[in-house]
Structure 1
Amino acid sequence: MAPRYLKKPTASTSSAANTTSEKVTGIVSGVIDDIRARGDTAVREYSEKFDKWSPPSFRLSQADIDACMAKVSPQTIADIKQAQANVRKFAEVQRECIKDVEIEIQPGVFLGHKNNPISTAGAYIPGGRYPLLASAHMTILTAKVAGVPNVIACTPPIMGEIPNATVAAAHLAGADEIFILGGTQAVAAMAIGTETIKKVDFLAGPGNAFVAEAKRQLFGEIGIDLLAGPTEVLIVADNKANPFTVATDLLSQAEHGPDSPAILITTSEEVARKSMSYIDAILPNMQTGELAGKSWGDWGEVAVVDSMDEAYSLADEYCSEHVQIFTETPRDALVKMVNYGALFLGENTCVSYGDKCIGTNHVLPTRKAGRYTGGLWVGKYLKTQTYQEVRSEKASGELGRLCGRCARAENFEGHARSGDLRAQRYMGDNFEWIGQAGGK
């Protein structure tokens, strides 16, 4: 049966939105080109233009960091440390499961791979509407657990001030350098390298439309974590789900921005209608209610289905960034679903835990990218690099014969001759071309 929608999104892609996107693309391209040409001079000009920020140095000294730390409350410092301990513990378990391997695939032929960390990584920690301290945990600390020796952090000023708590989080996470620099100019400076900012090999972290577009344009020149869109949340609920909890958790993610989809799929029309009623009741007294309300109004959806199998199937089609399972047997989702950024099982578990403190990484795929990739984790900071060694002359000769046949089937004569040479040397085969070239 087709789902019955009690609410559908009212927003749609428009020519105005496309025009805005084109403007962002053009602005970002111009900034990148300018920074590529003029380095630090251009970075400073754009920081002045966009953030009204032009300190003697964008890079914080140790004394600057110490001063920031001193301005953060002891409770906040303790909370940062506890959240980072959770992130570190889970990241360490992930790192331990990634093994170097070597196998003797046939006598005298050894194949293997090593997992080498990226040399230099950049971490972008957003400011703006929300100073995302947790992004420091997710990007910097995860890189350090992976073994990245150099991690550069950039975060924008907020209202012309250094964001002390964000600096504290970046420092405690292990950042080797911290720059108070935001937007496209920060991403471009890290990706390209300037006189004072080291070029990175990989860049991670969320950001606004300009940051996302800069990462998109620079991808290839550097690696990136993923191309993230607006935050998404989807709740799968049965008839036992608590509608007030459903409403609260949908709005917890809708407040991220004006275009954050918040979706409810349930087998109970009663749960659906009560949840919608609670959303209407909560929004007027919610500090971020105007923003969350716009997101819910424009992008919110509520679908009623006839069975849990239909609910899971529909949820897989949405492939949401965050999927909460409010059912009597939430672990069923581990079997029933494959398309998502992260699962949050049971009403004791909320997306906000993942966003802030539980220990899993909150940099997750959006816009259905969960069909082909997962989120940020230690493995993203590692290069799995293969090697091979043929110790046996006989094995080399046999591989030479096989290589010659395989290569000529593809019309790669040069490849074939590399194999021929070993087949002659170790197996006594004769090849006319070797004699003609005077080879041995």
Structure 2
Amino acid sequence: MKVIKAAERKTYQRDSELIRTVADIMDRVKTEGDAALLSYAERFDHVQLPGVRVSPETVKAAYDKVDPETVEAIRFAAGQIRYFAEQQKTCLKDLHIQSKVEGLEVGHRMIPVDRCGCYVPAGRHPLPSSALMGIVTAKVAGVKSVAACSPAVQSYGTIHPAVLVAMDIAGADEIYCMGGAQAIAAYAYGTESVGKVDLIVGPGNRFVTEAKRQVLGDVGIDSLAGPSEVLIIADHTANPTFVAIDILAQAEHDPNAKLVLVGTDEAMIRASMDEVERLLDTIPTKDVASVSWHDNGQVYLVDDLEEAAILADEVAPEHLEVQVDPTVEREVAAKLHHYGSLFVGHYAPVALGDFVSGPNHTLPTMSTARYSSGVWVGTFIKTAFHQFVSREGCMNLAQPCMHFAEVEGLYAHRDSVRLRLEE
């Protein structure tokens, strides 16, 4: 393997100042409730809110501020996400079986959480797609109450209209104008207006991620998200322009985005790198994308696609593209095991998954794809076990159970079985 371009710096750091800042914000929300949320909205978002909860009238008015083509695109994407989530749910089934031991029936039930909170980040541009990914999937899973929140946009004095429309189309039961670590605290511990949730999902900046880390245990979370990532496996058949623009599509997310190109053909690699520089001048997001590419871009030349697959599994990226000879692309895909979402083919940019293909775009980052999954229907569903035991079943299980209890020094456990036998 030959390193053609190395990253200049790490893309994510957790420092003591961040930890303390988030802890202070969360303590204030616990103590002051809504007043803290409104104060932080004024401080960070530069808006004075009448209240935290967004009224139905505000949501309805948002439709008049969004062009019809955008509304239709949101409806289309919601349909795609809903269809995929519904098909995923068919894989999750209750189980109830007769054990090999007579008198014992065992199984499990798939039970949705009662209440979840979906976080929708706000940055330089609105992110209605993130609203759809969390809310639609939660509703399909059967969550009884789905709350959604996003920070205020100063020019509107509330959540961006496109995001409000997406939240409404997705089916949010409650909408709150709040963001940052304070929103995570409100979800986790509740305020006068915000009911406590059981599970928090959705990406956010490093303050949101740190807040989710700190509330984990008091409430469930989907994952701890880092900067956006893409790894592209490409061979001699790859189109350098396609490779380059897909790198820039991730680079424009964040100056800290992680960008990796793994190629088997040096001429294609060099052409792709040249295209990155050329295309940078064509996109309005050049200021962000150029920093990300120059600081964090990594480029490797490998001997073959087998080595490329091994390297990709070591990186375990959020997004993994395979731009290789179509006659072997499925074979290569089968060798890949660690990724958040896989995009196979010369015409499969990550952008399709970000918005309209259907699978969720809230994905594991920072190599956590080695052991975790993106948001899906199962994120919102618990698997609760059960056992139905008759007198005969208790007798059939008694001896090995009592022996285990004695080995582990748990004598009341033993006697909970023994006394039943004696009765």
- TM category (shorter chain) comes to over 0.9
Report what 2:258 is aligned to. 261
Structure 1 residues 62-95: Cα deviation after superposition (integer angstroms, max 9, x where no partner): 1111111122111111110000100000000001
1: distance between equivalents of 2:356 and 2:135? 15
Report what 2:405 is aligned to. 407
Pairs within 5 Å for 1:388-403: 388-391=387-390, 393-403=391-401
Report what 1:341 is aligned to. 340
Pairs within 5 Å for 1:199-348: 199-328=196-325, 329-348=328-347
Report what 2:125 is aligned to. 130
Give the TM-score of the pair, scaled to structure 2: 0.96
2: distance between equivalents of 1:193 and 1:394? 48
Higher mean C-alpha deviation, range 373-382 or range 125-134: 125-134
Report what 2:29 is aligned to. 35
1:51 touches 1:160 (CA, 8 Å); kept in 2? Answer: no
1:397 touches 1:424 (CA, 8 Å); kept in 2? Answer: no
2:333 touches 2:344 (CA, 8 Å); kept in 1? Answer: no
* CA-CA distance at 1:400 after TM superposition: 2.1
Structure 1 residues 326-371: Cα deviation after superposition (integer angstroms, max 9, x where no partner): 0112222332111111110001111111111110000100010011
Q: Gapped runs of 5+ residues in structure 1?
A: 426-440
2: distance between equivalents of 1:134 and 1:54? 26
Partner amino acid, structure 2, of 1:335? A
Structure 1 residues 233-261: Cα deviation after superposition (integer angstroms, max 9, x where no partner): 00001111111100010100011101111
1:320 touches 1:368 (CA, 8 Å); kept in 2? Answer: yes
* CA-CA distance at 1:319 after TM superposition: 0.8
Report what 1:167 is aligned to. 164
2:41 touches 2:152 (CA, 8 Å); kept in 1? Answer: no
Report what 1:96 is aligned to. 90
Report what 1:370 is aligned to. 369
1: distance between equivalents of 2:125 and 2:109? 39
Structure 1 residues 181-223: Cα deviation after superposition (integer angstroms, max 9, x where no partner): 1111111111110011111110001111111111111111110
2:305 touches 2:332 (CA, 8 Å); kept in 1? Answer: no
Number of residues paired by the alignment? 418
Partner amino acid, structure 2, of 1:339? H
* CA-CA distance at 1:12 after TM superposition: 4.0
Q: Which of 47, 54, 58 is the equivalent residue of 1:53?
A: 47
1: distance between equivalents of 2:357 and 2:382? 27
Give the TM-score of the pair, scaled to structure 1: 0.93
Partner amino acid, structure 2, of 1:212? T
2: distance between equivalents of 1:48 and 1:99? 47
Structure 1 residues 294-352: Cα deviation after superposition (integer angstroms, max 9, x where no partner): 00101101101111101111111111110000011222233211111111000111111
* CA-CA distance at 1:286 after TM superposition: 1.4
Higher mean C-alpha deviation, range 83-92 or range 151-160: 151-160
* CA-CA distance at 1:131 after TM superposition: 1.6
2: distance between equivalents of 1:114 and 1:182? 34
Higher mean C-alpha deviation, range 242-251 or range 413-422: 413-422
Structure 1 residues 271-296: Cα deviation after superposition (integer angstroms, max 9, x where no partner): 10000000011112210011111001
Partner amino acid, structure 1, of 2:131? A
Distance 1:172 1:12, change over 3 A: closer
Q: Does 1:379 align with 2:378?
A: yes
* CA-CA distance at 1:402 after TM superposition: 2.0
SS in 1 for 2:299: strand
Percent of aligned pairs with the same amino acid = 41
CA RMSD, 1 decimal: 1.3
Report what 2:3 is aligned to. 5
Report what 2:421 is aligned to. 423
* CA-CA distance at 1:173 after TM superposition: 0.2
Report what 2:356 is aligned to. 357
Q: Does 1:154 align with 2:149?
A: yes
SS in 1 for 2:281: helix
SS in 2 for 1:221: coil
**The structure with more radius of gyration:** 1
1:52 touches 1:160 (CA, 8 Å); kept in 2? Answer: no
2: distance between equivalents of 1:54 and 1:204? 26
Partner amino acid, structure 2, of 1:403? C
Partner amino acid, structure 2, of 1:186? A
2:52 touches 2:193 (CA, 8 Å); kept in 1? Answer: no
1: distance between equivalents of 2:349 and 2:381? 29
2: distance between equivalents of 1:63 and 1:42? 24
4+ aligned runs moved over 4 Å, structure 1: none
2: distance between equivalents of 1:56 and 1:157? 12
2: distance between equivalents of 1:241 and 1:49? 48
Partner amino acid, structure 1, of 2:198? D
* CA-CA distance at 1:129 after TM superposition: 1.9
Partner amino acid, structure 2, of 1:10? E
Higher mean C-alpha deviation, range 3-12 or range 275-284: 3-12
Partner amino acid, structure 2, of 1:9? A
